Chains A and B, each alone.
Chain A
Amino acid sequence: MNGAPPTVVVRDLVKRFGDFVAVDNISLEASPGEIFGFLGPNGAGKSTTIRMLCGLLRPTSGQAMVAGLDVAHEPERVRQNIGYMSQKFSLYNDLKVIENLRFFAGMYSVATAELKERIGWAIDMAGLTGREQLLTGTLPAGWKQRLALGCAVLHRPPIVFLDEPTSGVDPISRRLFWELIHRMAVDGVTVFVTTHYMDEAEYCNRLVLIDRGRIVASGSPLELKEKSMAGDLLLVECDQVGKALEELQQAPGVTDAAIFGNALHLVVGSAERAIPEVKEFLAARGIAVTRIERIRPTLEDVFVSLTSLNRDEGDKGDTPAQSGKAAPAGDGGKEKGQ
């Protein structure tokens, strides 16, 4: 986050499976204490990238340096410096909690002097005190997930890779889990995390949006929300939402229209000009607007707009990532217009 040298440096990383390009020229850097989020639709190349960084997959070309070591040349030394946890929480269900911990401590050669303290820490962190002798398979998903994280960081790695760590876990467990991630980041650990959950993305210091193997946008959540949309975002509440959507997609000055809940989100060039125009446009077609205001885009808006725009780039012209200047001056986007 600050002046410290980056712990992960990726340059022009490419992974091809036959003709399919899973990861297409990705470059990025991550620093100690940073929570680095990977967002993108399924099959965008998030997991493939992480698997390359862990040395599980060999890159087709490009370079990945993790903890100052080249992943392609020294995968075994890289592994001593990383923790990895995937969506499957890969623990041994037929082993007891304590046996799983001892096994992974052994795999990472945790020093005997430290062993007791580290295992104690992991048990405490996972909230499993007094349950050390339970078979892991009998634990609920949330506990298993925290235990898996504990197993993955027993050796205090400076870098942790989490591949959709919270899928299939209840909301309270998710929150607890993110608290753990935060604590690790505060201690200076670089955390790489992929997720589908937009609220989780908000917790990241830095986000990278990946679509079809390419980085389509990157920055802090705030930067992404402010710069990545081509124009302003309007919320429209009205009757006949379906008809309104159809009409508005044809309307002049409206770049994009989509249903969000029981309202519409419109992307327009400028909010001040568009609000009266849209009202008038809908009134002329017999649709009554109950509410129209400028809103700050959520990450979900950004995500949908960037990945979908990218998908039919043929008819919509330039991608918003390149024209991030469209946001108005001032503290635009933070307050509602009316």
Chain B
Amino acid sequence: MLGRLRQMLIKEFLHVIRDKRARALLFGPPIIQTLVFGYAATLEIKHVPVAIVDYDNSQASRDLVSRFQASRYFEVRRIADRREVADLIDRSEATMALQINSGFSRQLHKGETAHLQVIVDASNSNTALVGLGYVNQVAQGFARDVRMAALQRQAPALAASLPEIVVERRPWYNPDLTSQWFFVPGVIGNLVLVIVVTLTAFAVVREREIGTLEQIMVTPIRRTEFILGKTIPFFLIGLLDTALISLAGTLWFRVPLTGSFLVLAAGTVCFILCMLGVGLFISTVSATQQQAMVTSFFFIMPAVIFSGFGSPISSMPLLLQRLTYLNPLRYQEVVLRSVYLKGVGFEVLWPQMAAMALIAIVMLTVSVLRFRKSLE
């Protein structure tokens, strides 16, 4: 009977509107996460604070220091004494410290190897690694120029014929390498995951906890009608959330949606179905809303970490890499970013869609069966 399903849907939407927690879940995470990942989170490392001690104080050393000052990657602070370094790094006032020893310029002129000491705060290994890379770039550039200048003085003919490689950077899909373009599409998947899974699990568990589940089960409602009534609202909410965040991403953060909206929608539908399956499953293993919360948390954390949302899957240990194939979010992240930035369609993304569809079918079947049994 459509009448019963209609009443179920009306009631579910009323619950979501009236329930403070559901309302918070509906609007809080999307706003906060979009802002956080739109503005704050970035993989780029800029303005690394660097302390430089120059004991050489020569033309060459000053030239090197000014190269660091000119780079947008560094915030240079000159210090007179190396004993200040430890304190600055302890206080996080400097992430790196460079030391140029006296004799630096002399060694260069004699054609010997000159040393530039780099101390780095590696408590954040990622920043340390990237920072060292930048330092290396600047130092090598300086060294090359010194070499070329020497060569030009002594053997101009040779210098002119010296082969050289110039790297021409052509970053596809994100020419300015903007982090937002990477994060904003990605965050859509995270949010839909959190919202759909928790709302679905809560919707069922709450009724079990307060006893209305039993009251509904003595009415002539069919199990299918009940399950549809408990999933359709969150399916729609998932779609709505995706649409809203996409809109915010495009209009506010100017992330281009290069691909087709239809492809994005198709992937999202497959993904939401997976999440409904997970939510229903959680509801069958939880007796109280608190248990449902803890169980959801145990799903959400690993699902986000092993999705490639933040850290690339290819750098994970092989075993974990294989496990990520079970994670629907892994596929949805690929769909979201590919459609957004690369503009590719079904011809490329069908394996991801098929994988999600398969997971959705398995999860929903298992959950619905378990769920029917739990109603007995």
Contact = CB atoms under 8 A, between A and B. Distances in A.
Contacts of B315: none
B317 interface: no
B211 A109 contact: no
Contacts of A56: 214, 217-218
Given A84-B218, A86-B215, A106 B3 contact: yes
Interface string B29-41: 0000000000000
Interface string A67-106: 0000000001101101011101011111100010011101
A94 B18 contact: yes
A55 B218 contact: yes
B4 A58 contact: no
B15 A79 contact: no
Interface in B2-33: 3-4, 6-8, 10-11, 14-15, 18-19
A86 B4 contact: no
A76 B4 CA distance: 14
B14 A94 contact: yes
A10 B43 CA distance: 71
Query: Of A90, A95, A107, which is in contact with the most chain B CB atoms at under 10 Å from its CB?
Result: A107
Contact of A106 (B4, B212, B217): B4
Given A86-B211, A92-B212, A107-B7, A99 B218 contact: no
Interface string B216-258: 1111111000000000000000000000000000000000000
B212 A108 contact: no
A71 to B, nearest CB: 11
Interface residues of B, number: 25
Given A88-B210, A90-B214, A92-B15, A76 B7 contact: no
A80 to B, nearest CB: 5
A152 B217 CA distance: 12
Contacts, number: 70
B219 A104 contact: yes
B218 A82 contact: yes
Select the residue from B14, B18, B220 with max chain A CB neighbours within 10 A.
Answer: B220
A54 interface: yes
B50 to A, nearest CB: 57
Contacts of A79: 218-220
A58 B217 CA distance: 13
| Closest 10 pairs between A and B when the two form their complex, measured CB to CB | A106-B7, A90-B215, A107-B219, A84-B218, A88-B211, A90-B211, A94-B18, A90-B212, A79-B220, A80-B220
20 contacts: A76-B222, A77-B220, A84-B218, A86-B214, A86-B215, A90-B210, A90-B212, A90-B214, A90-B215, A91-B215, A94-B15, A94-B18, A95-B18, A106-B3, A106-B4, A107-B7, A107-B221, A108-B219, A108-B220, A109-B1
Given A56-B218, A152-B215, 15 more contacts: A57-B376, A90-B210, A92-B11, A92-B212, A94-B15, A95-B11, A99-B14, A102-B7, A102-B10, A103-B10, A106-B8, A107-B216, A107-B219, A107-B221, A109-B4
Interface of A: 54-58, 76-77, 79-80, 82, 84-86, 88, 90-95, 99, 102-104, 106-109, 135, 152
